[in-house]
Amino acid sequence: MKLQKLTQMGLASAVALFVASGANAETLRFRLGEDPESLYNVETNSLTANTVIASYLLERLVYFDKNGDAKPWLAESWELNEAQTEITFKLRNGITFHDGEPFNADAVVYHFNTILAPESASPHLASMGPLTSIEALDDLTVKFTFSEPYAPFFNELAGATGGFNSPKAVEAAGSGYGRAPVGTGPYMIDQWIPGTEIKFVRNDNYHEQFRGDAVNKGAPHAEEILLSVISEDGVAQAALEAGELSASMLLSDTIAQFMDHPDFNTVIDETATNLMFLEFNHQKAPFDDVNMRKAIGYAIDRESALAAAWDGFGTAALGPLALGIPGFDGEVAAKYGTPYDPEKAKAILDDLGWVDSDGDGIRDKDGKPAEFLIKGYAGYAHSSRTLQVIQANLAQIGINVTLETADWGAFYPSLLDDGWDMDLMRWTARDAGILGELFRSPGHRQKLPANAPLDDLLTRCNSTVDPAARNECVSEAQRMLLENVTIVPIMSNWTVIATQGNVKDYTIDRMGYLIPGDVRIED
């Protein structure tokens, strides 16, 4: 009798278990690689937090369309003054935050003033550039004033940094705001179990979707979105296979298993904004010589590196700007780049006097063997595999390199010291301003000699606000960087995502954010 009752209870709870885990068609389940530290865009700047903030919660004045052109979103229009130091935005009327507060010029002013205030210690402070003041001209008009023209600002406006929070909610929540953000976006935060999951519910009072690149102009399709923290790729794979995730970003190693699978779709975003490249210590011989750097450039087999590091899910790069960043010039890259040509590399080395005089397979010059140190960051397969390819490539032309890797936190500062010849670097950026930040002398690691024409050009690119004129400037900068072989570009990797077969319209925008209102589950 007792046993029977226990069995019944067991069955009942087993049934409850199945009901509980049964997938709700109205819930989208996505993966988060790590728990965001905060969802307040003033105080955070991590990739994870930015993606969550910008995809679901907060909307911006502008967005970038597929061509990388800024288009109005919460702004209706904008105009520049003659000197290009003032941008005046006209805001759309009738937009409200999740808490019912109106979105207006005061909310815009509040947001940017908070970033500028030193006590906020905002990591976005530096990216505000020469922004000096923001003022509300009337309820729906706001003016940004700069001490000099600042082109990268539109990128900040379109990214997570430029998303607006309800000022009333920020003030009310104090330091807890990062856990309970209030925006104007298609989804509202419902629950955040730290380290575990974040649940969003549909904003049923959602105004119209003003983005031209969105398919669905009304309220979003799915009632709920559940983001689960899954740090291991293997676990995400199992969760997809078990039907517990609607979609997940995966490593290229894992995505291959979903490529031809009938139950899954894959979304591959090829507009990469990242670039992996080899840098030189320009202050140390022999890499102070442009021809030496050029020889290295010709020696690198980018396709092999791409296959090793990302299973081919990427684009081999010849230009110094990632292909997804507006201003990237593929023609300049093809014309002035150093494509894989080991014979050419060897010929250059011969001309420079680096020959193998003692027959040990390693070139030497003035009694010094061609032995160099390449530094890299540890902990990522893509980095260690690329380093190995580079090592093999250079061995092929008679150069012996030693690899030294360390955790990013130790590696990056160590480049300020002198004991290295080359390093493997990777940056992700959304604006061509990155070229100036990295390569305007003395450069981000203090090793670049002054180069007045290039330095002036990079400065001019940042203060040219007109997009077409700016692109011309950025093209010119790419040409000069290639002629100078400041770096050896290697590759950009793509974002790869697997979704369940019935998940439709999973679209990543130009900034790399999901357009969540479009995503639907097909019955």
**277 strand-pairing partners:** 425, 489
CB of 148 to other proteins, least distance (A): 14
Residue from 499, 507, 431 nearest 157 by CA? 431
Structure tokens at 450: 């002054």
SS3 488: strand
Which C-beta is closer to other proteins: that of 55 or that of 228? 228
Between 70 and 128, CB nearer to other proteins: 128
* β-sheet bridge partners, residue 141: 90, 138
Strand partners for 508: 514
Say how far apart CA 102 and CA 94 lie, in whole Å: 7
Nearer to other proteins, 95 or 160 (CB): 160
Contact present, 496 and 250 (Cβ < 8 Å): yes
Residue 175: CB minimum distance to other proteins, A: 6
Query: What's the min distance (Å) between Cβ of 348 and other proteins?
Result: 32
Question: Could you give the dihedral angle defined by the CA atoms of residues 445, 446, 451 and 455, in that order, rounded to the nearest 10 degrees?
Answer: 60
Q: What residues have CB less than 8 Å from 514, skipping those under 6 apart? A: 30, 51, 55, 56, 506, 507, 508
Least Cβ distance, residue 109 to other proteins (angstroms): 20
Residue 21 or 396 with smaller CB distance to other proteins: 21
Min CB(363)–other proteins separation in Å: 35
Tell me the closest approach of the beta carbon of residue 340 to other proteins, in angstroms.
30
Indicate left, alpha or beta for 121 from its phi (over 0: left) and psi (-120 to 50: alpha): left
Report the residue number, 111 or 445, with the smaller CB distance to other proteins.
445
Q: Are 223 and 23 in contact (CB under 8 A)?
A: no
Indicate the residue among 227 and 345 with the shorter CB distance to other proteins.
227
Specify whether the CB–CB gap between 471 and 485 falls below 8 A.
no
**Shortest spacing between CB 325 and other proteins, in angstroms:** 15
In the bound state with other proteins, the residue whose beta carbon lies nearer, of 139 and 417, is: 417
Task: Name the residue nearer to other proteins (CB basis): 211 or 375.
Answer: 375
Instruction: Give the torsion sign (CA, 76, 514, 380, 378).
Output: positive
Kindly state the smallest distance separating residue 1's Cβ from other proteins, in Å: 25
Closest contact distance (angstroms) between CB of 319 and other proteins is 20
Half-sphere exposure of 410 (CA within 13 A, CB side): 7
**C-beta of 246: minimal distance to other proteins in Å?**
12
| 179 vs 284 by CB, closer to other proteins | 179
Q: Which residues bind other proteins (CB under 8 A)?
A: 17, 20-21, 34, 37-38, 43, 45-46, 118-123, 125-128, 175-176, 178-179, 193-197, 228-232, 234-235, 238-239, 241-245, 407-410, 412-413, 434, 437-438, 444
The torsion angles phi and psi of 155, rounded to 5 degrees, stand at: -65, -40
Residues 423/405, Cβ–Cβ less than 8 Å? no
The residue (of 125 and 267) whose beta carbon lies closer to other proteins is 125
Q: Are 151 and 90 in contact (CB under 8 A)?
A: no
Q: Please count the residues of the chain.
A: 523
Looking at 281-320, list the stretches that DSSP marks H as alpha helix, in order from N- to C-terminal side.
290-299, 302-310
| DSSP secondary structure code for residue 116 in this structure | H
